[in-house]
């Protein structure tokens, strides 16, 4: 299959491109390097030393003999180029990672909110419009988020996207229907994923585009079997207060002896998945496209649920590090229950990796090897949900606004 990976230089995009290439798919990456430029803007770098995309691709070729093509493209800003790329490459499937993916970054200021909205919502609409304009039957696979459901705190199991409801008819009977699960985003970033999903519903109905929306949990880990083949292929590892996600942050913090930064009571329950499962799930989604004319397929891409303080205690027990309960910079429930079904992906044969499976040690080792690259000043989460943190226009956003 020929697969266009939009955002193929990023944390999930790069290992996915390699995994699919290793499985014999023909891979084309498009990326605008916004993630690398945001790093520069925030004055932070990946804990792992990531190479240029050119070097990554050439190393992959020298190790495996497999080619990966690359196009520099901003899907939110360059519609005509995107359309020309689809017409020239004629992919069977497009995987859409090309979004600003950090909730704290999206909440830093009005400018960050606006950039995240414009980039994510316009990018998604452009991809769908361009697919329609080519007239080709392209399967779109999108990396969505569990955060579209919100963390409302009940222990009712979240289904894969659609909720059965019984609606009273005019005649007084109850009619069973399935509706999109009510959205409850917790940040502007999560809101963009909700809007993406509405856009998908429309294009699946109106233009019969085949779409899979993967509602992914918090990814942990950094390496996959393919990125581990050579240091030039190493995946990025974010630990900073904007882009670092909770479990990976805790693992870096313990490696440098920094008390684990639990927000509030740590009673937040979230869904988790290892990066090696991310790439496997995407492959399963590609292998199992919905039929043309079907509604959007939704799959909850999560392996397990865990509470933040439970994770902190688990790591503290392993390494003896301290835990610091800090004021929560976010506007979120202090404690919530979370129960999630992942029937769609399991139905495709997925057997998830969990925290018990020994991969924590591998991530700890990577954190220890590269701890010298960690800037402790970048660890605290400074972005709050209630006040603008960064009234000036950062360099990256200035460029984007031009
Ligand atoms: N948290 C801490 N301490 C920290 C960092 C985070 O207690 O040092 C807490 C947060 O307050 C939050 C939870 O951990 O309650 C998760 O935060 P996170 O930064 O790990 O994850 P989040 O902001 O939700 O976003 C990440 C990814 C995003 C993805 C999402 C999946 O950045 O792209 O969509 O996870 S989910 O959370 O399931 O919506």
154 falls in which pLDDT band (50, 70, 90)? confident
Read off the pLDDT of each residue in 207-223 and give the average, rounded to a whole number. Answer: 98
* Spatial contact of 284 and 348, defined as CB atoms under 8 Å apart: yes
Q: Assess whether the C-beta atom of 245 lies below 6 angstroms from ligand 1.
A: yes
Mean of pLDDT values over 236-265: 98
C-alpha pair distances (Å), 362 with each of 225, 248, 249, 300, 366: 12, 12, 14, 25, 6
**pLDDT score for 5:** 99
Confidence of residue 396 (pLDDT cuts 50, 70, 90): low
Percent of the chain with pLDDT over 90: 94
Q: Is 205 a catalytic residue?
A: no
**Residue to mutate, 183, 302, 308, ligand 1, most ligand atoms under 8 Å from C-beta:** 308
Banded model confidence at residue 152, pLDDT cuts 50, 70, 90 = confident
Contact present, 25 and 139 (Cβ < 8 Å): no
The rounded Å distance from CA 244 to ligand 1 centre is 8
Distance (Å) from CA 245 to ligand 1 centroid: 5
What pLDDT does residue 399 have?
Answer: 54
Which residue's C-alpha comes closest to atom 34 of ligand 1?
145
Give Cα 15 distance to the centre of its chain.
Answer: 12
Which residue lies with its CA nearest to atom 4 of ligand 1? 246
> Is the CB of 308 inside a 6 Å radius of any atom of ligand 1?
yes
Strands (E), 275-330: 297-301, 304-307, 323-326
- With a 6 Å cutoff on the Cβ, whether 271 touches ligand 1 is yes
Which has the higher per-residue pLDDT, 358 or 161? 161
Q: Could you tell me how many residues make up the chain?
A: 402
Q: Rounded to whole angstroms, what are the CA distances from 374 to 216, 245, 256, 261?
A: 27, 15, 8, 15
Answer whether residue 388 shows pLDDT above 70.
no
| Mean pLDDT for the stretch of residues 45-64 | 98
What is the signed CA dihedral for 258, 259, 264, 268, rounded to 10 degrees?
Answer: 80
Model confidence at 392: pLDDT above 50: no
Query: Residue 229: which pLDDT band, with cuts at 50, 70 and 90?
Result: very high
Radius of gyration of the chain (CA): 21
Task: Please report the pLDDT score of residue 395 as a whole number.
Answer: 59
Please, which pLDDT band fits residue 398 given cuts at 50, 70 and 90? low
Q: What residue's CA is closest to ligand 1, atom 10?
A: 263
Q: Is the CB of 332 under 6 A from ligand 1?
A: yes
Q: Both tokens of residue 259?
A: 């008390």
Q: What is the pTM of this model?
A: 0.96
Region 86-101 average pLDDT: 98
Instruction: Say yes or no: CB of residue 268 within 6 Å of ligand 1.
Output: yes
Query: Is 56's pLDDT higher than 90?
Result: yes
Q: Taking 70 as the threshold, does the pLDDT of residue 43 lie above it?
A: yes
- Mean pLDDT score, 33-58: 98
pLDDT at 2: 98
Query: How is 14-26 classified by DSSP, letter by letter?
Result: HHHHHHHHHTT-E
More confident residue, 391 or 222: 222
């Amino acid at each position: 299959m020929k697969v266009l990976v939009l955002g193929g230089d990023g944390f999930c995009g790069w290992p996915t491109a390699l995994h699919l290439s290793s499985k014999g798919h023909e891979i084309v990456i498009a990326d605008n390097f916004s993630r690398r430029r945001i790093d520069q803007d925030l004055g932070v770098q990946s804990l792992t030393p990531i190479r240029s995309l050119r070097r990554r691709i050439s190393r992959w070729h020298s190790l495996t003999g497999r080619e990966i093509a690359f196009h520099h493209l901003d899907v939110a800003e360059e519609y005509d180029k995107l359309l020309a790329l689809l017409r020239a490459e004629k992919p069977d499937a497009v995987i859409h990672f090309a979004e600003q993916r950090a909730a704290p970054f999206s909440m830093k200021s009005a400018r960050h909110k606006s950039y995240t909205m414009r980039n994510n919502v316009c990018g998604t609409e452009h991809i769908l419009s361009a697919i329609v304009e080519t007239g080709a039957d392209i399967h779109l696979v999108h990396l969505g988020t569990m955060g579209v459901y919100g963390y409302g705190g009940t222990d009712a199991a979240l289904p894969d996207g659609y909720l059965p409801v019984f609606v009273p008819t005019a005649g007084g009977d109850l009619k069973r229907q399935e509706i999109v699960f009510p959205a409850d985003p917790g940040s502007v970033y999560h809101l963009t994923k909700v809007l993406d999903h509405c856009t998908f519903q429309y294009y699946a109905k109106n233009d019969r585009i085949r779409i899979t929306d993967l509602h992914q949990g918090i990814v942990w880990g950094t390496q996959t079997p393919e990125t581990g083949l050579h240091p030039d292929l190493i995946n990025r590892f974010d630990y900073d207060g904007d882009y670092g996600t909770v479990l990976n942050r805790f693992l870096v913090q313990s490696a440098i002896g920094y008390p684990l930064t639990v927000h509030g009571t740590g009673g937040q329950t979230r869904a988790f998945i290892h990066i090696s499962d991310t790439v496997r799930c995407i492959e399963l989604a590609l292998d199992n496209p919905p039929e043309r004319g079907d509604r959007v397929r939704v799959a909850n891409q999560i392996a397990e649920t865990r509470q933040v303080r439970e994770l902190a205690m688990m790591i503290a027990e392993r390494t003896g590090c301290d835990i610091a309960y800090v004021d929560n910079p976010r506007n979120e429930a202090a404690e919530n229950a979370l129960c999630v079904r992942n029937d769609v992906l399991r139905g495709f044969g997925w057997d998830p990796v969990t925290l018990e499976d020994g991969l924590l040690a591998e991530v700890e080792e990577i954190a220890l090897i590269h701890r010298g690259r960690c800037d402790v000043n970048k660890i605290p989460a400074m972005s709050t949900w209630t006040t603008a943190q960064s009234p000036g226009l950062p360099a990256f956003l200035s460029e984007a606004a031009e």
